[in-house]
Structure 1
């Protein structure tokens, strides 16, 4: 197996601008960069540094999104903006659009948001098909205590894929979210492998002592660590509960050809440029054991 290793851009590494990001990433052997936006300038910077673009954040489709607004006119404007972005990304050669579908009103139930999604997304996916764009849904469940994100559980993904069977509407496989939710991260690949359009390299450690204190729900009086809600914490690959060897085997079996992109959300490698750089490098070294 010889997968490319990519990364999303952490804040301190990104603070120096895209040229600085690209130069440093290339110097340590990163192959792919995920970006919040993509244009001619970013494309030229990546090409000059021997890098490829990975996933591109969908405009207005990451976090609380007007695509899931209760107001029909608001939704229509958001859909038009997203389609225009898809057209431009396609022209520049981009292929994967990253989305995290949190309703505009985070108190909205997932069931209600799903009904809005059914009306909104068929035309978006048709446009993606026409432009060769593959949507990758992020499985972050959203903010506590509502956890309103669409597409974070097998139950919801199954319902969504029944409505839209197109491969252009798929998932960003991120086992860290599955582990924290108690969802079998390997079984997920067995059921939804043909819908994996992108993959994140991030891990989760279940904190059993903390889990004793608050169970699987958010801690009442605050968590001990950043990137945690109490009974778990996000980590770099290799320092959590994800079985990366078995993940690699299953990704190979389903024919996944994209990169494994590091998403750095680990309190041990956060807060300074040096810490972030160390975290990316350690994550890359661990992933290369299985993917290079």
Structure 2
């Protein structure tokens, strides 16, 4: 399951479907704009993380202060390393819970071309993997 809003919804989902083969495609960028501690979420839902995306979120503080968190335009998805995700800490948390799977770069950053964005993300993330 992906893109469910809030960790309480995640908990309810896993309570309703407790099967060990039902898990998360964990994407820290979705938690950033919700103001959720994605590192704590990794530790809490660790055994449920089956896959993870490498996508970042840029928070535009000036727009957030002006528009508020219910408006659009105060955050956007960016290539890893250009946003608020603390990648070293995030990857360390994944390792700590025993995750040894794929870290897939998900490119939704309009500031980069397709190949350029993937290469920039790979260059940045290579220092942590």
TM bin, normalised by shorter chain, reads over 0.9
Q: 1:153 offset after TM fit, Å?
A: 1.6
Structure whose residues are more often helix by fraction: 1
SS of 1:181's partner is: coil
Specify which structure has the bigger relative contact order, considering alpha-carbon pairs within 8 angstroms and separated by 6 or more residues: 2
Aligned residues: 129
Q: Distance in 2 between matches of 1:170 and 1:216?
A: 29
Q: 1:167 offset after TM fit, Å?
A: 2.2
SS of 2:100's partner is: coil
The answer to whether the Cα contact below 8 Å between 1:217 and 1:231 also exists between their aligned partners in 2 is no
Q: 1:165 offset after TM fit, Å?
A: 1.5
Task: Show the counterpart of 1:283.
Answer: 121
The answer to whether the Cα contact below 8 Å between 1:171 and 1:197 also exists between their aligned partners in 2 is yes
Report whether the alignment pairs 1:156 with 2:9. Answer: yes
Deviation track 1:145-195 (CA, whole Å, cap 9, x = no partner) reads xxxxxx332111101111121221111110001001111111110111110
Deviation track 1:100-141 (CA, whole Å, cap 9, x = no partner) reads xxxxxxxxxxxxxxxxxxxxxxxxxxxxxxxxxxxxx222xx
Q: TM-score, normalised by structure 2?
A: 0.95
4+ runs deviating over 3 angstroms? none
Which of 176, 179, 183 aligns to 2:36? It is 183
Task: Show the counterpart of 1:242.
Answer: 85
Listed as ranges, the matches of 1:86-165 within 5 Å are 137-139=1-3, 151-165=4-18
Task: Show the counterpart of 1:261.
Answer: 104
Q: Which has the larger radius of gyration?
A: 1
The answer to whether the Cα contact below 8 Å between 1:210 and 1:231 also exists between their aligned partners in 2 is yes
Gaps of 5+ in 1: 1-136, 140-150, 219-228, 270-274
SS of 2:42's partner is: helix
Q: 1:243 offset after TM fit, Å?
A: 0.4
Gaps of 5+ in 2: none
Task: Show the counterpart of 1:168.
Answer: 21
Q: TM-score, normalised by structure 1?
A: 0.43
